[in-house]
């Protein structure tokens, strides 16, 4: 499906190049509302309702980031991502339903950068897009002439934990752990000051932009997912501690 969206004026500096976001979803209402919201934030958008057509367009004329729905007829979001990853490292966010946790995990393993559950806040989606684009820009700005990211101060080691912010990689005892951008930012905030108690408000500030509201239960849910993911590679993982009434802390384990 060709790009249905006419060029939009850039928000901010008139000569600043627009970042392009591709939206792939068989629900045209979602395509329209998300496209309008992103254009209002200064992005250019391309919309596709068919996975196969989207794959061809993404490879021939890559955007800066793509947002895929998982459940689509013919070629779903998981298959689309798998085929895309054979030839491209384009940043991808998944849109999922609340009952699609196995698909979320598979999507991250295939190379998705983040996922957001429906129904979702437009502001939250915009914040996650900006966070991933910033990370992608950092990777490219610190690359050597051969195209490989150079060593930097963005690496963090705490006991058995290794975090590389530029590559968005996490290792525990040398084993990879796939995290979303939000989970990565929360873990980074905890691990950067080992043993220090971080309140839920401090973790919210680390993981979300100022104009996105989330409640305490959202942070608690992220912590549960973090623990569950680390226990896949280490059933005895207990490095993230709960201090009831105060918040959470990370110990070197």
For every residue of 127-194, which 3-state class applies, written as one string? HHHHHHHHHHHHHHHCECCCCCECCCCCEEEECCEEEECCCCEEEECCEECCCCHHHHHHHHHHHCCC
101 plus 189 within the same structural domain: no
166 plus 99 within the same structural domain: no
Domain-located, residue 9: no
88 plus 194 within the same structural domain: no
111 plus 171 within the same structural domain: no
30 plus 127 within the same structural domain: yes
User: Would you say residue 143 has pLDDT above 60?
Assistant: no
Which of 87, 119, 141 is where one domain is finished? 141
Range of the domain at 199: 155-250
> Alpha carbon of 166 to those of 54, 143, 156, 193, 252: distances in Å?
27, 10, 11, 19, 22
Mean pLDDT of the chain: 81
79 Cβ neighbours under 8 A, 6+ residues apart: 51
- Residue 150's pLDDT is what? 45
38 plus 137 within the same structural domain: yes
Lowest mean pLDDT among 21-25, 43-47, 108-112: 108-112
Which of 109, 141, 173 is where one domain is finished? 141
User: Would you say residue 169 has pLDDT above 90?
Assistant: no
Distance CA 3, CA 220 (A): 39
* Two tokens, residue 68: 């895929």
160 plus 137 within the same structural domain: no
Domain-located, residue 194: yes
* 220 or 16, greater pLDDT: 220
Q: How confident is the model at residue 213 (pLDDT cuts 50, 70, 90)?
A: low
**Predicted TM-score (pTM) of this structure:** 0.67
Where residue 191 sits, what CATH number does that domain have?
A: 1.10.10.10
Domain-located, residue 243: yes
* 145 or 56, greater pLDDT: 56
Domain-located, residue 63: yes
> Alpha carbon of 21 to those of 24, 92, 230, 240: distances in Å?
10, 10, 31, 35
Q: How confident is the model at residue 144 (pLDDT cuts 50, 70, 90)?
A: very low
135 plus 238 within the same structural domain: no
110 plus 76 within the same structural domain: yes
Helix residue ranges, H only, the chain: 28-40, 51-60, 77-85, 101-110, 122-141, 181-191, 200-207, 216-233
37 plus 123 within the same structural domain: yes
Which of 141, 176, 197 is where one domain is finished? 141
What SS3 class is residue 216? helix
Asked if residue 202 lies in contact with residue 141, where contact means CB atoms within 8 angstroms, the answer is no
DSSP 52: H
Domain count, the chain: 2
* 198 or 110, greater pLDDT: 198
122 plus 178 within the same structural domain: no
């Amino acid at each position: 499906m060709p790009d249905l969206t006419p060029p939009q004026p850039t928000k901010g500096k008139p000569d600043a190049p627009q970042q392009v976001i591709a939206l792939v979803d068989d629900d045209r209402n979602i395509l329209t509302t998300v496209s309008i919201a992103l254009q209002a934030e200064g992005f250019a958008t391309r919309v596709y309702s068919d996975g196969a057509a989207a794959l061809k367009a993404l490879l021939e004329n890559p955007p800066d980031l793509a947002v895929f729905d998982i459940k689509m007829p013919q070629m779903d979001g998981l298959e689309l991502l798998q085929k895309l990853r054979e030839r491209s490292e384009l940043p991808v966010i998944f849109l999922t339903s609340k009952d699609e946790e196995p698909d979320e995990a598979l999507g991250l393993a295939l190379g998705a950068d983040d996922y957001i559950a429906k129904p979702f806040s437009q502001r939250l989606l915009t914040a996650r897009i900006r966070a991933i684009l910033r990370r992608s820009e950092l990777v490219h700005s610190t690359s050597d002439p051969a195209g490989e990211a150079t060593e930097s101060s963005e690496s963090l080691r705490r006991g058995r934990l290794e975090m590389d912010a530029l590559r968005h990689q996490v290792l525990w005892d040398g084993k990879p752990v796939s995290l979303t951008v939000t989970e990565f930012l929360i873990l980074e905030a905890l691990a950067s000051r080992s043993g220090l108690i971080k309140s839920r408000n401090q973790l919210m500030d680390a993981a979300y932009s100022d104009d996105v509201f989330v409640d305490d239960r959202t942070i608690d849910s992220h912590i549960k997912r973090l623990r569950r993911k680390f226990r896949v590679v280490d059933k005895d993982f207990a490095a993230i501690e709960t201090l009831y009434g105060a918040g959470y802390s990370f110990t070197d384990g």
